Chains A and B, each alone.
Chain A
Amino acid sequence: MLFSSIPFLFYFLPITIFLYFICPKVLKNALLAIVSFIFYAWGEPRYVVIMIVAVAASYLFGLLTELHRGKWLSKLWLILALAVGFGMLCYFKYADFFISNFNGITGLSVPLLNVALPIGISFYTFQLTSYNIDVYRGDTKAQKNPIDLAAYISFFPQLIAGPIVRYTDIEKQLKHRTHTFEKIAYGSRRFIIGLSKKILIANALGELCDIFKATNDNSILFFWLYGIAFSLHIYFDFSGYSDMAIGLGSIFGFEFIENFNYPYISRSVTEFWRRWHMSLGSWFRDYVYIPLGGNRVSKLKFIRNIFIVWMFTGFWHGAAWNFIAWGLFFAVFLLLEKFLLKKLLDKSHIISRVYLLFLVMVSFILFNATDMKDAIITIGGLFGYGGHPIISTEFIYYLRSFAVIIVIAAIGATSLPKMLTLKLMGSKVKIISYLEPVFLALLLIMCTAYLVDGSFNPFLYFRF
């Protein structure tokens, strides 16, 4: 079930909130686990079993790891926990990638598995494995209550698209969390903002990207428009979802970590990744990069560590070569910045920002390509590859049609709206502050209107 859908907004969510707040405190986590499983089962009922197995294994191995702490068995339980988690991830997400590459290299025809990817498996696998590693390291105690662990893993706000909430961050909240009007109001506000980012901006920009992909009237400027639109689309889509998750978490009394911090105002790739998908970045830092030695090793090993981490970061996003290339693309520029570019970028705000935005745009074209060939053609198209004209009729039309949304998105991707809001809130004219609920209500109505219009499906014959 998607947050940006009528069944979620007007059926699942009101019922869940109602049940949650009338439910006795002792049963709240159980309720959250049950509704989360229903939420998950909505999309693909069979895969609930996969998640239950993953949670059960993690729970069991967590207890055993703690039981044998300090002994070799402890490591064995951890390895088994990781094997189950990553094994399932590999089977569902990566098996066909490996098979097709194996077939390509050997010329054999090993049949593909063609299994559907369980929704959110990349996210909850990382949460489960971080839990087991933390228990092994002694950073946290094993959770004795399976319902609490199930509630943590399956908790629907962060289940499908993160943020990757660490068990250590949420452990205390599972047992002791407060529910205040302030938190509910903050959560509602955050949720509506995220919903609006997704429905009003990301979806519109996604529509523009789809138009570009389908066009027969291409031009160099249309490639640039696509690159800009997709970069904004993916930010508003993903950060919108994170906002909704954080907001929903707050409504249910949880405080989730932030996942985005205006990444497009960064002045280097290094800074960008401190602001983009922060929960994933910190996961790789703590569970891959630092265990490999981080930067406290020889230069050569440091370079190796960067490439390993970024290859896996790319691969985590998708089982295709363009995702691996996407990760390695960032590795190259992170290293370049570390050894060459840092001083240069520090000199000019303008050059560093243009540099970052251009690199990120190119990276997301690579990210969204159907394969490496498509990526090369599209990135080449930015510079005239393919013999396209500079400008085309469709480019002009769609630029004019989407100009307002692009401008709103570009401004919205900076901290300017937040600064402006804070200034208005601090204004002596109190009425401005009270306009916020009205504004949020209007946004909710607009989002609903866009969702309802999504069902508009005229019987085309009657056009003629």
Chain B
Amino acid sequence: MKAKNIITVILLCAILGGLSIYAYVKPQTKYSYAERRTLDTFPELSIKTLLSGDFMSEFENYTLDQFPFRDTFRGIKTFSEEYIFNKKDNNDIYNVDGYLSEMVYPLDYKMLDYASNKFKNIKDTYFPDSDSIYLTIVPDKNYFLAEKNGYLNVDYDKMFAYMQEKNDYMKYIDITPTLDINDYYRTDTHWKQEMLPQTAEMITETMGIDISNEYTEVQVEQPFYGVHCGHYGLQVKPDTISYLTNDIIDEFNVSIYNEFKEPVESTVYNMDKLNAEDPYDMFLSGVVGLITIENPNATTDKELVVFRDSFGASISPLLAQGYAKTTLIDLRMLNSVMLSDPDLQDSINFENSDILFMYSTIVLNTSTSLK
């Protein structure tokens, strides 16, 4: 009994003391790639911050952010939740056969209304007479995983029907028959470009445009740890990123408008982004408010304007093959009122263009991000 007491005290002291000492001496970590955010550093210590209590609350955040082996401990928590307590999800992330997904729940009709009103407002302001307006909704991974595996999920049929009803001036393109769970990255929210030719064809066919369906698939060498890897906490097998190219796509002239005014020449696939925090950003350089793609090999003068979220970044190069010019607008980054900005007038042409609103279910259900 005496020996057991000694072992108990030594073991617990070793854990508490060891981690304490290491926490004092370890260098501060500035950034968490798992969370895509800057970590708190040691707070300002002064009489003022002590008396106000600010130091204490910031110190607590600092100790949590800078805790030794932080990601390992987060992994232990995920393991406990999943394998000991048999919790269905951990921080809303769940794992089905290696596919990580974040629950989208509940269905928020206010958000759908917000998005629909935003779309209507844009239509009335910029292309009131157009009859070439299309809507397509990109299902998130939960569409394929949640219900049959017992996870909370929005009623997708209701969501799609509601959006069609609220946006009845748009022609709805149902792309769900062209998709299944294999078309998505296991560790990331997004879909895989190499699996999208059929989806792209369905969209362009509905808009009366022909595109090439012959591509060369290029696989990126480095492993792709999607955004859910960091959220999940446990080690999972990485994905691989592939991208599609052909003679038409190779010739695209891409301009991005970071400051929304002066265009900067760019590329369809930005290889520098593969080493950034979110490698999916390689498709059309990631989150950018305004991008134009000019197609010198186009057999038509017709243009396409796509209002899109990040799902649109990977499919748009395929759609752009059928148009002389494709303009991509991300309303999360570019306020819709800026579309009338004289400096942008030359870049965006709504007249006689096909207009496509392409948004994922995730963004539509949290649509206040649309400006």
Q: Does the CB pair A217–B106 fall under 8 Å?
A: yes
Within 8 A of A (CB), among B89-123: 89, 91, 102, 106
Complex interface: chain A residues within 8 A of B150 (CB) = 396-397, 400
User: CA–CA, A249 to B247, complex, Å?
Assistant: 76
Contact with A along B28-64 (1 / 0, CB 8 A): 0000001111000000000000110100100111011
Partner of A453, one of B16, B73, B360: B73
B277 to chain A: which residues have CB within 8 Å? 462
> Which residues 120-135 of B sit at the A interface, judged by CB distance below 8 A?
none
The CA-CA distance from A371 to B17 in the complex, in Å, is 45
The B165-199 residues at the A interface (CB cut-off 8 A) are: 189
A454 and B6 form a contact (CB under 8 A): no
Of the stretches A42-50, A227-235, A305-313, A328-336, the one at the interface is A42-50
- CB-CB under 8 A from B231, the residues of chain A are 456, 458
Residues of chain A within 8 A of B63, CB atoms compared: 6-7, 10-11
B-contacting residues, A406-430, CB 8 Å = 408
Q: Is the CB of B9 within 8 A of A181?
A: yes
Contact between A445 and B15, CB atoms less than 8 A apart = yes
Overall SS of chain A's interface: helix
For B48-84 the 0/1 string (1 means CB < 8 A from A) is: 0011010010011101110100100111111010001
For A14, the closest partner residue in chain B by CB is B20
Instruction: State the interface size on chain A (CB cutoff 8 A).
Output: 64
Q: A216-B106, A445-B76 are in contact. Are A440 and B11 (CB under 8 A)?
A: yes
A457 interfacial contact with B, CB 8 Å:
yes
In chain B, what residue has the closest Cβ to A182? B5
Least CB distance, B298 to chain A, in whole angstroms? 30
B151 on the A face (CB < 8 A)? yes
Task: Write out the residue numbers on chain B whose beta carbons fall within 8 Å of the beta carbon of A60.
Answer: none
Judge whether B25 is part of the interface by a CB distance below 8 angstroms.
no
Of residues 5 through 40 on chain A, the ones whose CB sits less than 8 Å from some CB of chain B are 5-7, 9-11, 13-15
Contact B64 A458 (CB under 8 A): no
Which of A45, A188, A404, A405 has a CB less than 8 Å from the CB of B12?
A188
Most buried by A among B59, B60, B65, B287: B60
Question: How long is the Cα–Cα vector from A343 to B73 in the complex, in angstroms?
Answer: 53
- B189 and A455: CB pair below 8 A? no
- Shortest B17–chain A CB gap in Å is 5
A231 nearest CB across to chain B (Å): 19
Cβ–Cβ < 8 Å partners of B77 in chain A = 446, 449-450, 452-453
Is A117 an interface residue when CB atoms closer than 8 A count as contact?
Answer: no
* Interface: A174 (CB within 8 A): no
> Are the CB atoms of A6 and B9 closer together than 8 Å?
no
Cβ A452 vs Cβ B74 within 8 A: yes
> Is B302 an interface position by the 8 A CB rule?
no
Q: How far is the CB of A398 from chain B (nearest CB, A)?
A: 8
Chain B CB within 8 A of A58 CB: no
Q: How near does chain B come to A445, taking the closest CB pair, in angstroms?
A: 6
Q: How far apart are the CA atoms of A42 and B102 in the complex, in Å? A: 37
Looking at the complex, which one of A1, A6, A14, A189 makes contact with B67 (CB distance below 8 Å)?
A6
Q: Please name all residues of chain A whose beta carbon is closer than 8 Å to the beta carbon of B261 when the two chains form the complex.
A: none
Interface check B309, CB cutoff 8 A = yes
The residue in chain B whose Cβ has the minimal distance to the Cβ of A454 is B64
Say how far A427's CB is from chain B's closest CB, in angstroms.
13
Check B2 against A433 for contact (C-beta < 8 Å).
no
B51-A45 in contact (CB<8A): yes
- The answer to whether B139 has its CB under 8 Å from any CB of chain A is no
Q: Are B56 and A42 in contact (CB under 8 A)?
A: yes
In the assembled complex, A339 has its CB within 8 A of some CB on chain B:
no
Chain B positions within 8 Å of A358 at CB level: none
Q: Point out the residues of chain A lying under 8 angstroms from B85, CB to CB.
A: 204, 404-405, 408
Q: Does A451 contact B (CB under 8 A)?
A: yes
Interface pair A393/B152, CB less than 8 Å apart: yes
Chain A, Cβ-Cβ closest to B228:
A463
CA distance A462 to B363 in the complex (A): 12
Q: How far is the CA of A397 from the CA of B59 in the complex (A)?
A: 37
Contact between A458 and B80, CB atoms less than 8 A apart = no
Q: Give CA–CA (A87, B86) in the complex, Å.
A: 49
Interchain CB contact under 8 A, A446 and B8: no
Of the residues B6, B16, B35, B37, contact of A9 by C-beta under 8 Å: B16
Which chain B residues border A449 with CB–CB below 8 Å? 73-77, 80
Which of the residues B60, B88, B91 comes within 8 Å of A5, measured between beta carbons? B60
In the bound assembly, the distance between CA atoms of A405 and B15 in angstroms comes to 26
A11-B20, A441-B15 given; 5 more Cβ-contact pairs under 8 Å: A181-B6, A401-B89, A452-B74, A453-B78, A462-B277
Chosen A-B contacts, 29 in total, with CB atoms closer than 8 Å, are A7-B59, A7-B60, A15-B20, A44-B53, A182-B5, A185-B5, A217-B106, A397-B88, A401-B87, A444-B15, A445-B15, A448-B15, A448-B67, A449-B73, A449-B74, A449-B76, A449-B80, A453-B73, A453-B78, A455-B61, A455-B65, A457-B35, A458-B36, A458-B231, A459-B37, A461-B287, A461-B332, A462-B36, A463-B102
